[in-house]
A and B are shown apart, each in its own frame.
Chain A
Amino acid sequence: MKRGAVAIVGMGVTEQRRGIGARPLELRRQALEYALADAGIGRDAIDGYIHASHEREDLRYLGLSPNFSWPVQSGGATAPCSFVMAAGAILSGQAEMVACAYGMAPSSGGMPGMGEKMSFGALGYGYPAQVGMIGAASAHALHARWHMDRYGTTSRHLGAVAVQLRDHAVGRPDAITFGQPITIEDHQASPMVVDPFRMLDCCRDTDGGAVFLLTTAERARTMAGTRPVYLLGAGMGHNIGNWHRRDVYPHHDDIAPAKARAFAQAGLTLADIDTAQFYDPFTISIIMQLEQYGFCAPGHGGPFVADGGIGLSGRIPSNTGGGQISGFYAAGFTPLIEAIRQLRDEAGTTQVKGARFALTSGHGLNGGVQNTWSHGTLILGADA
């Protein structure tokens, strides 16, 4: 992919919170309307539709008439995957204006393919569910325990992540923890859920929708009144290779190939990145990704965060909207939404001054027993 050939010219985000009570389809409908208004175009301009997950009624209910409608499901990596699919459709001449749509309502009943009422029992990853290994927290806890025992990372290091994310979220009205600061003592006092994760190490599911409109850079330049954000680079990696090599738990996904491809396409290095928005369902996710992207040395992620490394004045301001843990859980779209807000200078109290380049990550799906996740990296820019 050529750097900057594709731009995001519209973003629509519904409210993101628990118990909204609307269906996912309706959340996508409202997000689409916001995105169309943001881009200043009509729904007839949409000639491609990419749906994170898959339900059959979208095009009819949303009143769209595109030339194609593609489902994509790679768990929390779906967000970067959907942008790559949109870029592929645009650059292969299949579409000029692609809508990437997300909408979920896990706290109002039901996940795609899991019935109307989601049960946690459905979140078992293969045969380990038979011994009670259920839920995403345990899958990430295995990485966290490995990291603690290998490097000496502590519960207070995990707590430093939680406190920093909350510091970011308290001034952001769209965050579910807006106006609710916490201290490290609050973290240490919060109940142990799945060791080593306490309640405050974990995100909570929220309902919400988000739609992004992607087009060519040429078209973006003709759209007066929009604030295009450019897709500079993209890369993918899959941890199943580490499963085959029997080396899963030291790795938060297989980030190396995703990072290498994305940075090569963008023609940038880590030093160019102004802000990082990581997929962060649990506190360990930030620590391991900081290390594996190279913002700090292996094993140093905990102290790096405790020393303010991801704060607004730190080495790499990260998850500035509070991330999934303190902001809201829109799966892999949480990091993308915040990166786009940063590059459009719309990030409010946690705006990184003059942010031009943002790194984002997504992580998800299950290619083996568990912990064999897919990883996606996108680098976005305020200019092409």
Chain B
Amino acid sequence: MTPPGIAPLVKGDPDAPFWEAWAAEERFLLHRCAICGRHDWPASCCVEHGLAAMTWVEASGGGVVDTYTVFHRAYTAGLASAVPYTVAVVRLDEGPYFHTRLVEVAPDAVCTGMRVRVRRGAGDAFPLFIPDRAF
């Protein structure tokens, strides 16, 4: 029996709920502290309250581009057909950073501060982001 306040051991990949929710229903989850409401990604201890208070909750899937880079060179053979591609660090509306690829936008049209949201309905195995034109 785990003492009160001490989180039981997480078996396997601590990030598994995130990937499973995306794969099953394209739901975009974050790890949230039930005490202070701080969101995290990837799975983390709350810096104030530890792991015991953390649960996976659905997030907005929106944010702004904090910074980005454009790959003009493929570092593995599997990426050769992808260049040039844009990797962005999105500052999610809930607070955490999320590293992803920006799609449906030319690399030279990307800028810091632009609003983006997760793309749904395209069968993406990884949550990719697109410009949030509705905003």
Asked if A pairs with B, the answer is yes
Q: Are B68 and A142 in contact (CB under 8 A)?
A: yes
Q: Which residues of B contact A2 (CB under 8 A)?
A: none
Q: Which residues of B contact A149 (CB under 8 A)?
A: 67, 111-113
- Partner of B87 from the list A132, A193, A249 (CB cut-off 8 Å) is A132
Q: Closest chain B residue to A140 by CB distance?
A: B69
Q: Which residues of A contact B85 (CB under 8 A)?
A: 132
Say whether, besides A120-B76, A121-B76, A246-B95, A133 and B66 are in contact (CB < 8 Å). Answer: no
Q: In the assembled complex, how far is the CB of residue B114 from the closest CB belonging to chain A, in whole angstroms?
A: 11
In the complex, A196 Cα to B72 Cα: how many Å? 10
Say whether, besides A119-B76, A127-B99, A134-B76, A249 and B67 are in contact (CB < 8 Å). Answer: yes
Q: Are B75 and A135 in contact (CB under 8 A)?
A: yes
Q: Are A131 and B126 in contact (CB under 8 A)?
A: yes
Q: Which residues of A contact B72 (CB under 8 A)?
A: 191-195
How many chain A residues touch B (CB < 8 A): the figure is 33
Q: Mark B41-80, 1 if CB is under 8 A from A, else 0.
A: 0100001000000000000000000111111110110010
Say whether, besides A138-B87, A191-B72, A127 and B67 are in contact (CB < 8 Å). Answer: no
- Judge if A173 is at the interface, Cβ distance under 8 Å: no
In the complex, A146 Cα to B97 Cα: how many Å? 14
Q: Are B112 and A131 in contact (CB under 8 A)?
A: no
Tell me the chain A residues, 141-197 only, with Cβ under 8 Å from chain B: 141-143, 145-146, 149, 191-196
Q: Most chain-A CB neighbours within 10 Å: which of B69, B72, B111, B113?
A: B69
Q: Which residues of A contact B79 (CB under 8 A)?
A: 132, 134
- Partner of A246 from the list B69, B96, B107, B126 (CB cut-off 8 Å) is B96
In the complex, A8 Cα to B86 Cα: how many Å? 46
Q: Which residues of A contact B107 (CB under 8 A)?
A: 195
Q: Are A127 and B42 in contact (CB under 8 A)?
A: yes
Q: Are B99 and A128 in contact (CB under 8 A)?
A: yes
Q: Mark A256-288, 1 if CB is under 8 A from B, else 0.
A: 000000000000000000000000000000000
Say whether, besides A131-B99, A134-B76, A146 and B87 are in contact (CB < 8 Å). Answer: no
Q: Are A138 and B71 in contact (CB under 8 A)?
A: yes
How many chain B residues touch A (CB < 8 A): the figure is 31
Q: Which residues of B contact A195 (CB under 8 A)?
A: 69-72, 107
- Judge if B93 is at the interface, Cβ distance under 8 Å: no
- Partner of A131 from the list B67, B91, B96, B101 (CB cut-off 8 Å) is B101
Q: Mark A320-354, 1 if CB is under 8 A from B, else 0.
A: 00000000000000000000000000000000000
Q: In the assembled complex, how far is the CB of residue B12 from the closest CB belonging to chain A, in whole angstroms?
A: 16
In the complex, A248 Cα to B107 Cα: how many Å? 23
In the complex, A128 Cα to B107 Cα: how many Å? 18
- Judge if A126 is at the interface, Cβ distance under 8 Å: yes
- Judge if A56 is at the interface, Cβ distance under 8 Å: no
Q: Are A133 and B99 in contact (CB under 8 A)?
A: yes
Q: Closest chain B residue to A139 by CB distance?
A: B69
- Partner of B67 from the list A145, A194, A244 (CB cut-off 8 Å) is A145
Q: In the assembled complex, how far is the CB of residue B74 from the closest CB belonging to chain A, in whole angstroms?
A: 8
Q: In the assembled complex, how far is the CB of residue B122 from the closest CB belonging to chain A, in whole angstroms?
A: 14
Q: Closest chain A residue to B77 by CB distance?
A: A121
Q: Which residues of A contact B89 (CB under 8 A)?
A: 142, 249
Other A-B pairs, 8, CB within 8 Å; known A135-B75, A195-B70, A369-B99: A121-B75, A132-B101, A134-B75, A142-B89, A145-B67, A149-B67, A149-B111, A243-B97
B→A interface (CB under 8 Å): 15, 42, 47, 66-73, 75-76, 79, 82, 85, 87, 89, 91, 95-97, 99-101, 107, 111-113, 126, 128
**CB-based closest 3 A-B pairs:** A128-B99, A195-B70, A141-B69
